[in-house]
Structure 1
Amino acid sequence: MAASKRSTRSTASKKSFISIPKISTPKIDFSMKTNAQKFLFFSAFTVIAYGFAALFAPWETFGKLLMPILPASGVTEKSFSQWKEVFATFSFGWAVGKIVAASSSQKATKLFCQLNSLPMTYFVYCCHKAQTFDWPTWALFLTAYVYFGYLAK
């Protein structure tokens, strides 16, 4: 009995000497059970592709075909070459947020779609104002964000 008290005391003293908090991570589920989660995963992989295209595609492909808002806004091949790593980093970070939301829960997916509809609305506005040929594509993404964020059950 004395031995068990001794081991309890030493365990207790070890816990009080260094207090290491327990880190809990959310359960990540890539099963994509809902259409909202499927859309958000698709959207994440789309933005990842744009990030890689920014890094590796020639300006004629990326700037003029994939992101015509850039030259319409005065961005040139030379000026973009100084910012393409930043653009790619932002794209990858945006994708991480989408993947985490979609793999966490339906509630997180819905919240992401709600919040993301605001910057997407402004992006669609900018593309439409600049009369880029791809603004309807971004409007479709915006429609999906609004649908899954506000209308879908």
Structure 2
Amino acid sequence: MSEANLYEKYVGIIKGHLSGKQAGELSERAGARELWLTHLPQYGDPVGAETDEEAAVLGTSSKMFYLNVIRGTKNPLQPPVETMDGRWTFPEENMVRGMAQYTFSGSKETIARQLAPFIEELQIDELMAVSYIYDQDKRKRSFEILKEAVDQL
């Protein structure tokens, strides 16, 4: 059994996790008959709010969380900030955007528009979500908005 919470493109850049390929290679070298992968990468989270603007601010906590992964730091989840300007370098910003490629953010209507092609392309019939929103009540409301967006599809 191995965790594999790293996309291959981040090997050598992000510390502390294996890619699925790395886990397979280690398993093969160890002579394992089976390999069970856990902690698979998802890199993205829903950020639902009453407005797109509010969701953008709430989503900064998630972006700072992903910066922890990139930098190899272990800071607790941070409260949202108005802007990420000055908090990350250009390469870090690009890596966070790549890691959050499946983030659905905005109002119920915006999230529904973002989800529709995702669901159609991947032909999914179930959606599991994790969210890194600092405020617990806003996190709960975000999940409610996500459900409302899915229900209107």
Query: TM-score, normalised to structure 2's length?
Result: 0.30
Q: Give the number of the structure whose residues are more often strand, by fraction.
A: 2
Superposition TM-score, scaled by structure 1 size: 0.30
More helix by share: 1
